[in-house]
Amino acid sequence: MNLAKRSLYNLSMMVISANFLLAAPKLYLYLLPFDNINNEQAIACLGSGFTDMLTKEMTPLEGLFLRNRDDLENIMNNRGLLLKQPRDSRNILALGKYTRKMDEISIDMQFIDIANWEELDKREVIGSYNNIPQLNNELADVVKTCLLYTSDA
């Protein structure tokens, strides 16, 4: 290899190494459809609706990477993929379940670190079936607060 090619090769390797070493930690949020605890058909669409709404709300957040059920299954089948992420990255599974009593919707959220299955936080949101947009806003605020809290842990 001549001197010019070797210098270019060395420079390329240094840039790649620097990018790898300086890669910022990332926060991966695994969002799954919410569970309808009572299997009530009238509100079954809310399970995927809450997930879709959170996806829309969380997508613009810098440093947050949203994942779905398929991504979670890939990580669970090949835990070595966690080692390929930037150092100090976090992988958080958001589990949600909801029930309805009359016009009241109760949503329970649980946040789990999938690296060690430790429960990081647990929250409840209660709102009106007649005001789903407000319920969605409250749910998004809870998730953002929990992510802020867990990313500092």
Q: Which two tokens stand for residue 147?
A: 């992510």
In degrees and rounded to multiples of 5, residue 132 shows phi and psi of -60, -40
- Does 3 have pLDDT greater than 70? no
- Residue 21's pLDDT band (cuts 50, 70, 90): very low
- Between CA 92 and CA 137 the distance in angstroms is 20
pLDDT of residue 11: 56
Q: Indicate whether this model's pTM tops 0.75.
A: yes
State which amino acid sits at residue 114.
I
pLDDT of residue 79: 78
- Between CA 37 and CA 47 the distance in angstroms is 10
Whose tokens are 């509100």? That residue is: 43
- Between CA 128 and CA 110 the distance in angstroms is 21
Least-confidence region, from 48-57, 77-86, 89-98: 77-86
5 has which bridge partners? none
CA 123: distance to chain centroid? 15
Residue 121 CB neighbours (<10 A): 18
Quick: pLDDT tens for 65-79: 999 999 889 888 887
Determine what percent of the chain is predicted with pLDDT higher than 90.
Answer: 42
- Nearest Cα to Cα of residue 39 among 98, 96, 95: 98
- Nearest Cα to Cα of residue 93 among 71, 78, 77: 71
Quick one: average pLDDT of 80-97? 84
